[in-house]
């Protein structure tokens, strides 16, 4: 199988989908790996490292797409890349289609066989999303604390305070991987943290494993509203696999918050869980509305590409191997969990949540 690794061109994105060691493993299985020149530089991998393991280096991205049967990426295709895809090509990447109708329609029209990292479900878990959720969750508390700084538009409150002063109060919406990591880091900074979830069993678990300065609370609009006036940082990590994120903080609710408070929307890839959110970049990460600082960077792990690339390849490589071995036509038969990853195939949508988000009919395999 010919596998293509193009350079990511989304703004401020420095990750690469396969490390040189990952490329070596694919080549050892008899596949050909074609890497666009400088694709790995942002993550600290030189072209020579890919050449040394037997990968073919190509300067022109169009050559990658022309040769490759499978394209392996990190981020979803952006519009300037659409023309590069061949009809019926296989794509494996983060897609987040529920937040992008235009991309969904393109994949259907081009009959792309698109498998997404973020919807692959194994024993109730999302193993290809979890590594990036860890990075984004840990980053969320750090970014929230930084943007509380007065020079960033925040209230000027130090998250952990010092002796004799007030500590920041942090609200974490969602008790999954990202939310748990966010709570751990916020607690480690010394803040007073409350983590919300609708799963009582999950809350019981979090209550036993998180530090003493983390409280748990059942997630309801009433409970969120009650705590907002005291909160300095709100971190939204809510995820419904494949679907748009629910809007847990409305525009009207911002009026309950103190001026200079910070919202960090980790769910922005899936449309965001704050009504006032819109995607931002690492270059311009924030905007202010109703006096509240919004941090809504759509590719948060891209800020730490070396860590993120290693973590991503560790998780995705076994599935890339299986996809390359059997191809898109047979992989779901040979490894049934790949059915949850399949979003579009030869013009048909196979993700019900995406169909509901865009009013497009979907099918079951």
3-class state of residue 286 by DSSP: strand
Q: How far is 220 from 52, CA to CA, in rounded Å?
A: 55
Q: How far is 331 from 316, CA to CA, in rounded Å?
A: 15
Give the Cβ contact number of residue 176 at 10 Å: 21
Q: Which helix (H) or strand (E) holds 101?
A: helix 101-109
Digit-coded pLDDT (tens) for 205-220: 999 999 999 999 999 9
Catalogue the active-site residues.
Answer: 96, 269
Classify residue 240 by its DSSP letter. -
Digit-coded pLDDT (tens) for 263-280: 999 999 889 999 999 999
CA 79 to chain centroid: 19
Q: Which of 257, 258, 282, 277 is nearest to 143 (CA)?
A: 282
Digit-coded pLDDT (tens) for 100-154: 999 999 999 999 999 999 999 999 999 999 999 999 999 999 999 999 999 999 9
DSSP lists the bridge partners of residue 235 as 172, 264
**CA torsion angle for 240, 351, 93, 89 (degrees, to 10)?**
-170
Instruction: State the burial class of residue 304 (Cβ atoms within 10 Å of its Cβ: 0-12, 13-18, 19+).
Output: middle
Structure confidence at residue 365 (pLDDT)? 66
Q: Which of 58, 71, 60, 63 is nearest to 1 (CA)?
A: 71
Digit-coded pLDDT (tens) for 74-108: 999 999 999 999 999 999 999 999 989 999 999 99
56-58 sheet: strands from edge to edge: 56-58, 32-36, 2-5, 70-72, 90-93, 113-116, 342-345, 348-349
Digit-coded pLDDT (tens) for 46-71: 999 999 999 999 999 999 999 999 99
Q: How far is 88 from 313, CA to CA, in rounded Å?
A: 25
Instruction: List C-alpha distances in Å: 257 to 171, 239, 249.
Output: 12, 24, 11
Mean pLDDT of the chain: 96
Where on the phi/psi map is residue 205: left (φ > 0), alpha (ψ -120 to 50), or beta? alpha
Give the Cβ contact number of residue 364 at 10 Å: 6
Digit-coded pLDDT (tens) for 152-198: 999 999 999 999 999 999 999 999 999 999 999 999 999 999 999 99
Which domains are seen in the chain, by residue range? 2-117+312-358 (3.40.50.720), 130-303 (3.40.50.720)
What predicted TM-score, i.e. pTM, was given to this entire model? Answer: 0.90
Digit-coded pLDDT (tens) for 7-29: 999 999 999 999 999 999 999 99
Q: Are 317 and 286 in contact (CB under 8 A)?
A: no
Band of pLDDT at residue 290, cut at 50, 70 and 90: very high
Structure confidence at residue 242 (pLDDT)? 76
Give the Cβ contact number of residue 200 at 10 Å: 10
Structure confidence at residue 239 (pLDDT)? 84
3-class state of residue 343 by DSSP: strand
364 vs 346 pLDDT, higher one: 346
Tokens of 2: 């010919």
Residues 6+ apart with CB under 8 A from 140: 178, 181, 182, 185, 235, 237, 264, 266, 300
Q: How many CA atoms within 13 Å lie on the side-chain side of 137?
A: 26
């Amino acid at each position: 199988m010919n596998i293509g690794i193009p350079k990511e061109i989304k703004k401020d994105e420095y990750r690469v989908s396969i490390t040189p060691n990952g490329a070596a493993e694919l080549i050892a299985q008899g596949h050909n790996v074609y890497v666009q020149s400088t694709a790995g530089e942002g993550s600290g991998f030189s072209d020579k490292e890919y050449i040394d393991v037997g990968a073919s280096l190509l300067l022109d991205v169009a050559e990658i797409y022309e040769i490759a049967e499978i394209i392996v990426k990190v981020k979803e295709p952006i519009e300037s890349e659409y023309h590069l895809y061949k009809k019926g090509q296989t794509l494996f990447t983060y897609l987040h289609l529920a937040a992008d109708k235009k991309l969904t329609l393109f994949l259907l029209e081009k009959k792309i066989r698109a498998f997404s990292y973020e919807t692959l479900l194994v024993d109730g878990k999302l193993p290809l999303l979890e590594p990036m959720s860890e990075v984004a969750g840990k980053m969320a508390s750090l970014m929230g604390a930084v943007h509380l700084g007065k020079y960033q538009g925040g209230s000027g409150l130090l998250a952990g305070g010092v002796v004799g002063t007030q500590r920041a109060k942090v609200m974490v919406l969602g008790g999954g991987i990202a939310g748990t990591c966010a709570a751990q880091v916020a607690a480690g900074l010394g803040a007073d943290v409350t983590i919300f979830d609708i799963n009582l069993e999950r809350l019981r678990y979090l209550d036993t494993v998180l530090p003493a300065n983390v409280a748990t609370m059942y997630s309801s609009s009433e409970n969120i509203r009650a705590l907002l006036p005291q909160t300095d940082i709100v971190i939204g990590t809510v995820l419904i696999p494949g679907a748009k994120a629910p809007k847990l903080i409305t525009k009207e609710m911002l009026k309950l918050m103190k001026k200079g408070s910070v919202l960090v929307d980790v769910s922005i890839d899936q449309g965001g869980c704050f009504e006032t959110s819109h995607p931002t970049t690492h270059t311009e990460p924030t905007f202010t509305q109703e006096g509240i600082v919004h941090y809504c960077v759509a590719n948060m792990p891209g800020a730490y590409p070396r860590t993120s690339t290693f973590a991503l390849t560790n998780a995705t490589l076994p599935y890339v191997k299986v996809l390359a071995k059997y191809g898109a036509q047979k992989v779901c038969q040979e490894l049934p969990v790949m059915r949850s990853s399949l979003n579009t195939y030869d013009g048909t949508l196979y993700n019900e949540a995406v169909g509901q988000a865009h009013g497009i009919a979907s099918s079951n395999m």
